[in-house]
């Protein structure tokens, strides 16, 4: 109780200090900036609503930092200010930046028609050929020609959907655009971001998002859409009772265009391919800084793979990546300092460290000529488990070695290949009782599930569990992670979820001391004995195992290879811990249920769902394993 009281007093002190600082920053910003709202004309005559926070200082020329968003420039009105002083953007204001926000075409107060993840057009022939890159070009051109005392240098950044617009900005080709930071960028909505992972439909995020965001906006407005009335506080219950995906389509109605698009394109076809921006990331000119969270439930894929696409296709590009121990957008927070996620603690204020040591110096160098270029590494990666930042000269690392971790009989897990024959683990996958993605009862999808304790799942009969012996030395994994399973099903389709887990010793405690250089992390002890920390989890829709374009049915009860990529990893399994792998065939209601018959899941009926006997093979001929990127 005494320790709890001390922590409460410390928290109150920190909160009071933070509020005082924000009030001081607010007064300073209002004294030194002017807000202006303008409509900027695009080449086809459409005008985009833009809010500009302008420094009053005339003694020097100022850089421009811009974000384009479908989520609104609110508050609207030149006397109503976005509280930038309550975020790390306050640093940019004190550095003398113009700060610009723009409603993208067809959203909120901008004119025109909105198109979700509007495809890039590399072959524009006239003024009517527009895309998000051309809208960015036209905006930048107007800004550098019309903002007094700007220094001709422009930067763009954004998180999530605005991260997509940041990537598109990099394709604009405007000579004034010197630095771009796509952060958790929407990149490929079929393979790995938001609404699909390896073809599996993430129904909770898609339905919750498009019942609000997807509503049509016939004309410019400052009033946002209303959400769906669920009348239920238990999302597992709601999604199970609602049933097949077609029932959600009925609830969605006829007005949500992108939902209808998703339903009309169940496989990876040309419609989806046109919306994969990675293919266009050639000859990238601005300095690039991709940022993401190792535990980002929405767009972990986007940051890793935007970086990799530029490295592969634009070899001369000035390109860097940062990945920290964060949920979606946590690195930009001033109130959540990145010292923990859920029950897992990282020992330092990682968000503040990133803001002060990477992002601000990046833009300061390329837009103001302040600092040095080599102060920011090629890859700045936080290794969880070890809980330490690494500044690396490349990613993946040169000393990475793919090492197979084999599933074994009797729930064992080992780096040696199994030698026995006819060995498998079997479970019954029942769509009527799918495996939950978290043990809690709640409605909104959590941000913490990416580090949740997996003991609740390990206790279920429809989850196969494999575990190493106690580690006698640290095992550090950093790089691409690949699941290579040999499976069979009594049905003709199935999903496969693979989870890589760090099992803590039974007497484990976090002993955290407040850092001497930061006032934001209190000293504390956190008992975590036996915790099964999810380090990385990913799903594969089985019918896409050979091709996302052409799905294939399983031959019932026949051993079949199912191989798939999981997002990159950076984690140290410490000596005294264990490594665990769990395999299951549902992850609900995160992902829609597979009926376990080969069909179009978006149009099938409730009666089509079937139980299936699933086998995970682990013998000499069928050696299921995980390829770990081990650092030697």
Q: Check if the beta carbon of residue 411 is closer than 8 Å to that of residue 397.
A: no
Q: What is the residue extent of each domain of the chain? A: 196-272, 400-631
Token representation of residue 443: 């409605």
Q: What is the pLDDT of residue 632?
A: 87
Tell me whether the omega of the peptide bond preceding residue 396 falls within 30 degrees of 0, making it cis: yes
- Consecutive 10-residue averages of pLDDT for the chain (632 residues): 37 45 84 97 98 96 98 97 90 96 98 98 96 98 98 98 98 98 97 96 97 95 93 94 98 96 98 96 97 97 98 95 97 91 95 96 98 93 98 96 98 96 97 97 93 98 98 98 98 98 94 55 77 98 98 98 98 98 98 98 98 98 98 92
Tokens of 214: 């997807």
Residue 621 has what pLDDT?
97
Half-sphere exposure of 217 (CA within 13 A, CB side): 27
Q: What is the pTM of this model?
A: 0.94
- The DSSP bridge partners found for residue 518 are none
What whole-number distance in Å separates Cα of residue 498 and Cα of residue 545? 14
CA distance 134 to 139: 8
Q: Is the domain covering 196-272 a CATH 3.40.190.10 domain?
A: no
User: Could you give the maximum distance between any two Cα atoms of the chain, in Å?
Assistant: 79
Residue 1: per-residue pLDDT = 37
CA separation for the pair 482, 629 (Å, rounded): 9
- CA distances to 292, 373, 396, 572 from 377, rounded to whole Å, are 15, 9, 13, 21
For helices 235-242 and 203-213, give the axis angle rounded to 10 degrees: 90
| 3-class SS of residue 350 | helix
400-631, superfamily in CATH? Galactose-binding domain-like (2.60.120.260)
Q: Which residues of 510-546 are buried (b: 16+ CB within 10 A; e: fewer)?
A: bebeeeeeeebbbebeeebeebbbbbbbbbbbbbbbe
Kindly give the pairing relationship between strand 578-584 and strand 495-503: antiparallel
For 257, phi then psi, to 5°, come to -65, -45
Matching residue, tokens 């979700």 = 116
SS3 label, residue 136: helix
> Tell me, what's the pLDDT at 8?
37
Q: What would you report as the CA-atom Rg of the chain, rounded to the nearest whole angstrom?
A: 25
541, HSE (Cβ side, Cα atoms, 13 Å)? 32
Reported as half-sphere exposure (CB side, CA atoms, 13 A), residue 621 has a value of: 6
Tokens of 80: 């109503």
The reported pLDDT for the residue numbered 373 is 86
Q: In whole angstroms, give the CA distance from residue 203 to residue 150.
A: 45
Q: Are 322 and 392 in contact (CB under 8 A)?
A: no
């Amino acid at each position: 109780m005494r320790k709890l009281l001390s922590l409460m007093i410390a928290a109150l002190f920190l909160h009071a200090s933070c509020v005082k600082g924000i009030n001081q920053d607010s007064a300073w910003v209002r004294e030194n900036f002017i807000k202006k709202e303008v409509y900027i004309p695009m080449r086809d005559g459409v005008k985009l609503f833009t809010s500009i926070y302008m420094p009053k200082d005339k003694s020097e020329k100022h850089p421009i930092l811009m974000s384009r968003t479908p989520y609104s420039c609110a508050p609207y009105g030149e006397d109503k200010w976005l509280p930038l002083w309550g975020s790390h953007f306050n640093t940019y204001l004190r550095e003398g930046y113009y700060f610009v926000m723009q409603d993208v075409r067809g959203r909120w107060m901008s004119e025109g028609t909105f198109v979700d993840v509007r495809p890039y057009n590399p072959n524009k022939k006239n003024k009517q050929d527009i895309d998000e890159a051309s809208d960015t070009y036209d905006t930048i051109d107007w800004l550098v020609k019309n903002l007094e005392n700007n220094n001709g240098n422009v930067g763009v950044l954004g998180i999530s959907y605005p991260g997509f617009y940041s990537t598109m900005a990099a394709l604009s080709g405007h000579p004034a655009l010197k630095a771009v930071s796509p952060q958790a960028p929407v990149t490929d909505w079929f393979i790995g971001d938001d609404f699909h992972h390896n073809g599996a439909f993430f129904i909770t995020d898609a339905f919750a998002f498009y019942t609000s965001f997807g509503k049509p906006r016939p004309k410019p407005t400052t009033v946002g859409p209303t959400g769906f009335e669920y009348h239920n506080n238990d999302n597992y219950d709601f999604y199970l009772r609602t049933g097949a995906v077609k029932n959600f389509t009925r609830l969605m109605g006829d007005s949500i265009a992108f939902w209808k698009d998703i339903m009309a394109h169940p496989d990876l076809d040309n419609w989806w391919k046109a919306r994969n921006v990675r293919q266009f990331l050639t000859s990238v000119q601005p300095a690039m800084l991709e940022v993401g969270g190792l535990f980002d439930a929405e767009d972990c894929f986007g940051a890793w793979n935007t970086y990799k696409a530029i490295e592969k296709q634009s070899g001369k590009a000035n390109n860097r990546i940062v990945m920290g121990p964060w949920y979606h957008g946590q690195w930009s927070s001033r109130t959540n300092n990145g010292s923990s996620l859920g029950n897992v603690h990282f020992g330092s204020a990682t968000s503040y460290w990133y803001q002060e040591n990477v992002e601000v110096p990046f833009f300061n160098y390329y837009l103001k000529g302040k600092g040095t270029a080599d102060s920011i590494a090629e890859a700045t990666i936080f290794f969880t488990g070890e809980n330490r930042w690494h500044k690396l000269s490349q990613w993946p690392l040169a000393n990475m070695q793919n090492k197979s971790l084999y599933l074994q009989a009797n729930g064992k897990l080992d780096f040696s290949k199994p030698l026995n024959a006819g060995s498998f683990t079997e479970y019954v996958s029942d769509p009527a009782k799918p495996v939950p993605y978290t043990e809690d009862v709640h409605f909104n999808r959590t941000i913490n599930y990416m580090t949740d304790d997996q003991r609740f799942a390990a206790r279920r009969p429809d989850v196969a569990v494999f575990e190493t012996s106690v580690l006698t030395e640290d095992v550090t994994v950093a790089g691409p992670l690949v699941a290579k399973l040999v499976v069979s099903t009594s049905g003709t389709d199935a999903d496969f979820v693979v989870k890589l887990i760090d099992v803590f010793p039974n007497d484990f405690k976090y002993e955290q001391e407040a850092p001497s250089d930061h006032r934001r992390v209190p000293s504390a002890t956190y008992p975590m004995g036996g915790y099964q920390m999810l380090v990385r989890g990913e799903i594969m829709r089985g019918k896409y195992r050979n091709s996302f374009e052409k799905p294939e049915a399983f031959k019932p009860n026949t051993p079949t290879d199912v191989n798939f990529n999981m997002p990159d990893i950076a984690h140290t399994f410490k000596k005294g811990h264990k490594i665990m792998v769990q395999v299951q065939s549902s992850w609900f209601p995160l992902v829609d249920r597979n009926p376990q018959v080969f069909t179009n899941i978006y149009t099938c009926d409730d009666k089509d769902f079937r139980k299936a006997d699933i086998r995970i093979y682990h013998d000499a001929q069928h050696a299921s394993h995980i390829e770990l990127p081990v650092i030697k």
